[in-house]
């Protein structure tokens, strides 16, 4: 796979499969080092490079659109960074937007972007339609760390900020409507310090008192003591590390993580 002239011998590269188009035909791959980035579309049937995009770091695939920032002067702090959406099948640009940031999948056709406005330095959290770049929801926000988001691959996305003042909130990944947030207004429930995974209506996380499972649409506790917080979940298994044994072997459990309804 070509990596571009910016990739010098002896410079360590970071390669990541960002996602697969909704039709399963193309995998989007990003490759970067300290000096630049490129992204590629890989035709999975033909096993060949379908397109390349220099100076573009794909960060999420929403539906059939790869979304990510430019990696030119803006990425080096010398000017405003742009956000771009490319067709996953062809690499053709569909849209661009100002003020890029940390980009994550937030739904079947939704991306979450957290960053700072170049002109003012004010923090923002935006939800954009993946296929058009249209802003669906936006909020000014102050946070120590950018929110991390987990889509449950059905209809809920849960985001959290770790560090000073833990916060968590759930949104409908089809309408971008806010569903709930923690801590609650009465101060009776705290936010998880870390949300490790979400799957079909269940949210898995950790608090100071151990692992929890929350209902994705309400934020209510499903289980206050599930025993572990999986990192990966599907309809069959959960994969995680036993509590208190961060260096121990990974567990694959069937009984522990089947809180979501099957399907």
Instruction: Please check whether residues 155 and 200 belong to one and the same domain.
Output: yes
User: Higher confidence at residue 241 or residue 199?
Assistant: 199
Instruction: Please check whether residues 73 and 130 belong to one and the same domain.
Output: yes
* Confidence (pLDDT) at 244: 58
- From 139, 167, 193, the end of a domain falls on 139
User: Higher confidence at residue 259 or residue 14?
Assistant: 14
Order the strands of the 123-129 sheet from edge to edge: 102-107, 110-116, 123-129, 135-140
Burial zone of 9 (CB within 10 Å; 0-12 exposed, 13-18 middle, 19+ buried): exposed
Nearest CA-CA partner of 80 in 125, 123, 118: 118
Measured in Å, how far apart are the chain's first and last C-alpha atoms?
37
Instruction: Please check whether residues 227 and 168 belong to one and the same domain.
Output: yes
Q: What is the CATH number of the domain that holds 233?
A: 2.40.10.480
pLDDT mean over 60-75: 84
Q: How many domains does the chain have?
A: 2
* CA dist., res. 157 & res. 219, Å (int): 11
Q: What is the CATH number of the domain that holds 120?
A: 2.130.10.10
pLDDT mean over 221-246: 73
Instruction: Please check whether residues 168 and 118 belong to one and the same domain.
Output: no
Is the pLDDT at 259 greater than 70, yes or no?
no
Instruction: Give tens-digit pLDDT for 132-161.
Output: 999 998 776 666 668 899 999 999 999 998
Instruction: Please check whether residues 156 and 132 belong to one and the same domain.
Output: no
* Confidence (pLDDT) at 192: 86
What is the domain extent for residue 49? 12-139
Residue that is written with structure tokens 């059939």 in the block: 64
* Confidence (pLDDT) at 13: 78
Instruction: Please check whether residues 115 and 209 belong to one and the same domain.
Output: no
* Confidence (pLDDT) at 243: 60
Residue 252 lies inside a defined structural domain of this protein? yes
Instruction: Please check whether residues 132 and 201 belong to one and the same domain.
Output: no
Question: 213 in helix, strand or coil?
Answer: strand
Is the pLDDT at 55 greater than 80, yes or no?
yes
Residue 92 lies inside a defined structural domain of this protein? yes
Instruction: Please check whether residues 29 and 82 belong to one and the same domain.
Output: yes
Half-sphere exposure of 57 (CA within 13 A, CB side): 23
- From 116, 139, 162, the end of a domain falls on 139
* Confidence (pLDDT) at 209: 78
Residue 3 lies inside a defined structural domain of this protein? no
Residue 5 lies inside a defined structural domain of this protein? no
Instruction: Please check whether residues 31 and 148 belong to one and the same domain.
Output: no
Residue 241 lies inside a defined structural domain of this protein? yes
Residue 236 lies inside a defined structural domain of this protein? yes
Residue 1 lies inside a defined structural domain of this protein? no
Is the pLDDT at 72 greater than 70, yes or no?
no
- From 139, 160, 177, the end of a domain falls on 139
* Confidence (pLDDT) at 3: 52
Residue 6 lies inside a defined structural domain of this protein? no
Instruction: Please check whether residues 126 and 164 belong to one and the same domain.
Output: no
Is the pLDDT at 218 greater than 70, yes or no?
yes
Instruction: Please check whether residues 115 and 19 belong to one and the same domain.
Output: yes
Instruction: Please check whether residues 189 and 256 belong to one and the same domain.
Output: yes
Is the pLDDT at 91 greater than 90, yes or no?
yes
């Amino acid at each position: 796979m070509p990596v571009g002239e910016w990739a010098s011998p002896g410079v360590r590269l970071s390669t990541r499969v960002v996602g697969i188009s909704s039709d399963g035909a193309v995998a989007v791959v990003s490759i970067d080092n300290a000096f630049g980035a490129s992204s590629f579309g890989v035709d999975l049937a033909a096993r060949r490079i379908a397109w390349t995009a220099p100076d573009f770091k794909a960060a999420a695939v929403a539906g059939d659109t790869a979304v990510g920032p430019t990696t030119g002067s803006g990425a080096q702090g010398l000017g405003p960074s742009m956000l771009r959406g490319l067709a996953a099948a062809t690499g053709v640009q569909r849209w661009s937007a100002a003020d890029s940031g940390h980009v994550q999948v937030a739904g079947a056709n939704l991306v979450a972007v957290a960053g700072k406005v170049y002109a003012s330095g004010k923090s923002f959290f935006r939800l954009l339609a993946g296929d058009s770049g249209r802003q669906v929801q936006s909020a000014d926000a102050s946070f120590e760390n950018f929110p991390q988001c987990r889509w449950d691959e059905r209809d809920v996305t849960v985001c959290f900020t770790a560090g000073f003042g833990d916060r968590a909130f759930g949104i409908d990944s089809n309408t971008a409507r806010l569903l709930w947030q923690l801590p609650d207004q009465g101060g009776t429930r705290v936010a998880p310090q870390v949300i490790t995974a979400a799957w079909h209506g269940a949210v898995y996380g950790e608090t100071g008192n151990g692992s929890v499972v929350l209902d994705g649409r309400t934020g209510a506790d499903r289980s206050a003591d599930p025993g572990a917080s999986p990192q990966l979940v599907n309809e069959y298994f959960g994969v995680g590390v036993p509590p208190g044994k961060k260096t121990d072997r990974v567990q694959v459990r069937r009984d522990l993580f089947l809180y979501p309804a099957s399907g």
